[in-house]
C-alpha cells in the first residue's frame, strides 16, 4: 500500500517542470564605500549615492593599510552594493546567496530588507533571498561588513594577525528547485561522508544527505547516491525512495561496501573517488551534489608517530597564513596554487592552516595533492568570557563545511588562550564535545604556548600541541633538547605535537656572527639566526619520534598590524618565504634538502655577500651525496658532515681580497650534474665593529 501511495504522489509531482540547480558567479558588478555604521544600514548606503568605488570581489579594504602601518588601519564598517536582473523564470525557484568569507561580521539586505547575518570572518554562510526578489525586474543587494574587534566574536583582537575587512572570498548565487539538497545547513554541501574499517581489502562508507522541501505539501522523491572512481566509473550505487515532509530538512542515509579500494596515501598516492547524490522528482533530476572521497585511516600513536593506513607516515609540517603583500586576504586561485606549489616543493607532507578556516579551494587542492591538513578556528591569543557561543558556531561551521575533505585529520580548538583558566578549560572541553558530536571520527587538538603538559588549560582535547620558540622568545636554541626529553620521561603517553617553532628573519639583515639566543625586541633580525634555529631544532625533532608531528612557523611572512619588529612595520618575518613570495630564505632550502625527494644543492648565505672576516665558514645543503666546492677555481678541502645527512660544512674558507666566486658541484642518482654558484666579497676587517655590536645583543653561542 505504501508503495502505491508513493508512486501516485511521485507521478503527480512529475506534472511540474523541474531542472537542476544553477550556481552563478556573483563576483562582478559591485560598488564599495567605507562609511560609519548606522542604525539603518540601508539609509546610510543610500546617502552615498554617486560616491561609490567599483570593485570586483574578492576584495578587502585593508590590502595596504593593514600591511604598512602599525595600529593604524581602517577597522569598522563598509558597504558593498550590487544590482542584478532577476529573470521571470525564477518566480517559483528558491534563490540563495552564498558568501565564502566576509570579514568579519556581515548583514545582507535585499531590496531594503535584512535577509541574513553572520558573525565570523573565515567561514562561509548562505542566506535565502528568493522571497525578497522581484522577478522580471532589477534587484539590489547591500552587504554591510564590519571588521571591528569584538569581545563576542573570535578572534577578539588584531594582535597576532589582522582580520581583513570586506567580501574577500567569492560570492555565489544559487538558484534551486523547491526541493533540493540543503544549502543553508551551515552553508555546507548538505552531504556528509563517513568511512570505517578502511583497509586494502575493503572499506565501509556511509553517505548522509540533508534534503530540503520548501513547499507546503509532502513530495515523493528518489535519492540516488553513487560512488565513482577517479575515471568516473561507478563503483557502488544505491537508490532510496523518500517522501519529503513539508517545510523542513530531513536526512537520508546510504551505506556502501567498497571492495579492494585504492587508498588515499598522502603525497605518494592521493587517490580520490567521488560521491554523487542526485535528487529526482517526477522522473527528473532536480538537484545534484558531488563530493570527494579519499579512503584512508589516520592514527596518532603517542610516543611513536603518525600512521596513515597502518603505515608510519612522516609529518613534515608547515603553517600557513592566507594573506600576501598588496592583496591582503583577497586571493585568487592562482595565489593559492602558488602557495601550494611552494609547500609541495619544500617537501612538506602536512600543513597547519592557522589560525582560522581557510578557503575551500585550498582544502580541495590539499585533497588532490595529498597534503594532510590541520584545520582550526580563530580562538586565539586572548579570552574575554564573551566568545563562548561564537566559538561553538565557528567550530560547527568549520566542521560541516569541510566534513568531506579527506586531507583533514584534526579540528583545532584553540591556540594560546589562557586566563581565566577555569573558563578557558571548560570552553575547550565543550568545543571538544561539539567536535565529537559533529564528527566522532577525527581528532581534536588544542595548543599551548607553555612547555608544561600539566598547564591548567591543557589536556582537554585528543592531541596536545605546544608552541616553543627556544632561542627567540625564550631561553636558547639548544634548550629544545631537555624540554623534549623531560616530556618523554614525565608524559610518555601524551600525544604531543610541536605546533610552532622558529625565528624571524629579515633578508636585508645579514651577519657572520650568531649566538644561541637573539634579543627579539631589537631591530636586527639576521637571516642567519633563523637558519641556525631551524638547522639545529629540526635535527633534534627528526630523531625524537615522541613528537608525533611538528609544524614550523611559518611558511610565508604575513601581516601583524599591531607590531613593528625587525625594522619592518606590521610584519611577522618567521616565514621561509617573504611576504611577496619572491625570496626563499636559506631555511627553505634546509627543509627542502631534508624533506624533498627532489635533488637539492644549495650554498647558504648568498645574501651575506659582503663578508666580515677573511677566514669564514661555508655551509652547503645537499641530499644526493657529498658536494665538491671550488673557491676561485680551486677545490676546497676539509668538508665535514653534521646535524643531518644533508648538512655539509667547510669550516675554514680563506677569502681573497675583492671578489670570490664559489661553485658547488655534485652528481645526483640519475647521473645529472647539479651546480650552485654565488659570489662573496671581502674588503678587510672594517665591518667588525658592526659585528661586535651584534654580538653584544646576543647571548654567547654554541
Question: Three-state SS for 651?
Answer: strand
- In whole angstroms, how large is the CA radius of gyration of the chain? 28
Q: Report the C-alpha gap between 101 and 453 in whole angstroms.
A: 35
Tell me which H or E stretch contains 426.
helix 421-438
Q: Which residues contact 143 (CB under 8 A, 6 or more apart)?
A: 79, 80, 81, 99, 102, 106, 107, 108, 109, 167
582 upstream amide cis, omega within 30 of 0: no
Q: Which residues contact 302 (CB under 8 A, 6 or more apart)?
A: 492, 493, 494, 495, 496, 548
Question: Residue 173: beta bridge partners?
Answer: 24, 97
Q: Report the C-alpha gap between 648 and 216 in whole angstroms.
A: 75
Question: Is the distance from CB of 173 to CB of 26 less than 8 angstroms?
Answer: yes
Q: Report the C-alpha gap between 451 and 462 in whole angstroms.
A: 17
Question: Is the distance from CB of 672 to CB of 497 less than 8 angstroms?
Answer: no
Q: Report the C-alpha gap between 73 and 67 in whole angstroms.
A: 9
Catalytic residue among 376, 416, 500, 698: 416
Q: Would you give the DSSP letter of residue 625?
A: S
Q: Which residues contact 8 (CB under 8 A, 6 or more apart)?
A: none
Q: Is 696 a catalytic residue?
A: no
Question: Residue 126: beta bridge partners?
Answer: 98
Identify which of 73, 568, 585 has the alpha carbon closest to the alpha carbon of residue 328. Answer: 73
C-alpha separations of 386 from 107, 173, 245, 415, 420 in Å: 21, 33, 38, 17, 12
Catalytic sites, residue numbers: 416
Amino acid at each position: 500500500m505504501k508503495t502505491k501511495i508513493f508512486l501516485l504522489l511521485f507521478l503527480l509531482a512529475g506534472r511540474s517542470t523541474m531542472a537542476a540547480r544553477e550556481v552563478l558567479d556573483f563576483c562582478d558588478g559591485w560598488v564599495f564605500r567605507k562609511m560609519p555604521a548606522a542604525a539603518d544600514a540601508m539609509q546610510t548606503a543610500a546617502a552615498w549615492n554617486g560616491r561609490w568605488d567599483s570593485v570586483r570581489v574578492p576584495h578587502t579594504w585593508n590590502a595596504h593599510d593593514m600591511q604598512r602601518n602599525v595600529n593604524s588601519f581602517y577597522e569598522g564598517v563598509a558597504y558593498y552594493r550590487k544590482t542584478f536582473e532577476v529573470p521571470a523564470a525564477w518566480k517559483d525557484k528558491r534563490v540563495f546567496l552564498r558568501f565564502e568569507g566576509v570579514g568579519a561580521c556581515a548583514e545582507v539586505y535585499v531590496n531594503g530588507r535584512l535577509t541574513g547575518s553572520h558573525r565570523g570572518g573565515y567561514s562561509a554562510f548562505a542566506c535565502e533571498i528568493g522571497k525578497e526578489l522581484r522577478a522580471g525586474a532589477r534587484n539590489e543587494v547591500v552587504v554591510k561588513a564590519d571588521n571591528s574587534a569584538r569581545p563576542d566574536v573570535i578572534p577578539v583582537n588584531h594582535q597576532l594577525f589582522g582580520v581583513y575587512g570586506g567580501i574577500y572570498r567569492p560570492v555565489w548565487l544559487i538558484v534551486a528547485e523547491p526541493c533540493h539538497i540543503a544549502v543553508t545547513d551551515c552553508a555546507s554541501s548538505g552531504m556528509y561522508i563517513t568511512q570505517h574499517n578502511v583497509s586494502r581489502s575493503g572499506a565501509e562508507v556511509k553517505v548522509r544527505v540533508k534534503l530540503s522541501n520548501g513547499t507546503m505539501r509532502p513530495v515523493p522523491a528518489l535519492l540516488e547516491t553513487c560512488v565513482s572512481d577517479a575515471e568516473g566509473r561507478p563503483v557502488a550505487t544505491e537508490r532510496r525512495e523518500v517522501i519529503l515532509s513539508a517545510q523542513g530538512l530531513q536526512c537520508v542515509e546510504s551505506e556502501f561496501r567498497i571492495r579492494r579500494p585504492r587508498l588515499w596515501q598522502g603525497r605518494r598516492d592521493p587517490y580520490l573517488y567521488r560521491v554523487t547524490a542526485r535528487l529526482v522528482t517526477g522522473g527528473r533530476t532536480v538537484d545534484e551534489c558531488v563530493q570527494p572521497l579519499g579512503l584512508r585511516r589516520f592514527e596518532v600513536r603517542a610516543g611513536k608517530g603518525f600512521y596513515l593506513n597502518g603505515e608510519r607516515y612522516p609529518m613534515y609540517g608547515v603553517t600557513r597564513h592566507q594573506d600576501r603583500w598588496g592583496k591582503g586576504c583577497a586571493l585568487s586561485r592562482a595565489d593559492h596554487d602558488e602557495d601550494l606549489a611552494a609547500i609541495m616543493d619544500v617537501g612538506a607532507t602536512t600543513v597547519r592552516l592557522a589560525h582560522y578556516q581557510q578557503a575551500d579551494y585550498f582544502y580541495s587542492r590539499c585533497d588532490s595533492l595529498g597534503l594532510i591538513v590541520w584545520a582550526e578556528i580563530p580562538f586565539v591569543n586572548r579570552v574575554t568570557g564573551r566568545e563562548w557561543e561564537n566559538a561553538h558556531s565557528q567550530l560547527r561551521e568549520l566542521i560541516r563545511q569541510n566534513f568531506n575533505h579527506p586531507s583533514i585529520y584534526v579540528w583545532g580548538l584553540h591556540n594560546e588562550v589562557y586566563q581565566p583558566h577555569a573558563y578557558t578549560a571548560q570552553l575547550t572541553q565543550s568545543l571538544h564535545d561539539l567536535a565529537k558530536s559533529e564528527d566522532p571520527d577525527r581528532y581534536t587538538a588544542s595548543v599551548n604556548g607553555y612547555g608544561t603538559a600539566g598547564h591548567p588549560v591543557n589536556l582537554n582535547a585528543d592531541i596536545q600541541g605546544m608552541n616553543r620558540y627556544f632561542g627567540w622568545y625564550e631561553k636558547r636554541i639548544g634548550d629544545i633538547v631537555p624540554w623534549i626529553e623531560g616530556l618523554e620521561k614525565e608524559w610518555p603517553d601524551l600525544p604531543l605535537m610541536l605546533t610552532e617553532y622558529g625565528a624571524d628573519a629579515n633578508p636585508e639583515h645579514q651577519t657572520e656572527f650568531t649566538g644561541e639566543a637573539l634579543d627579539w625586541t631589537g631591530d636586527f633580525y639576521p637571516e642567519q639566526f633563523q637558519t641556525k634555529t631551524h638547522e639545529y631544532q629540526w635535527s633534534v625533532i627528526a630523531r625524537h619520534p615522541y613528537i608525533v608531528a611538528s609544524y614550523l612557523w611559518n611558511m610565508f611572512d604575513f601581516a601583524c598590524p599591531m607590531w613593528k619588529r625587525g625594522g619592518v612595520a606590521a610584519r611577522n618575518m618567521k616565514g621561509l618565504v617573504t611576504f611577496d613570495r619572491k625570496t626563499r630564505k636559506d631555511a627553505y632550502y634546509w627543509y627542502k634538502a631534508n624533506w624533498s625527494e627532489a635533488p637539492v644543492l644549495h650554498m647558504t648565505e648568498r645574501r651575506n655577500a659582503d663578508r666580515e672576516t677573511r677566514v669564514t665558514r661555508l655551509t652547503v645543503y645537499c641530499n644526493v651525496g657529498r658536494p665538491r666546492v671550488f673557491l676561485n677555481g680551486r677545490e676546497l678541502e676539509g668538508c665535514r658532515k653534521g646535524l643531518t645527512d644533508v648538512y655539509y660544512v667547510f669550516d675554514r674558507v680563506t677569502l681573497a681580497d675583492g671578489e670570490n666566486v664559489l661553485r658547488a658541484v655534485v652528481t645526483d642518482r640519475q647521473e645529472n650534474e647539479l651546480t650552485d654558484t654565488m659570489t662573496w666579497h671581502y674588503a678587510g676587517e672594517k665591518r667588525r665593529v658592526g659585528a661586535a655590536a651584534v654580538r653584544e645583543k646576543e647571548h654567547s653561542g654554541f
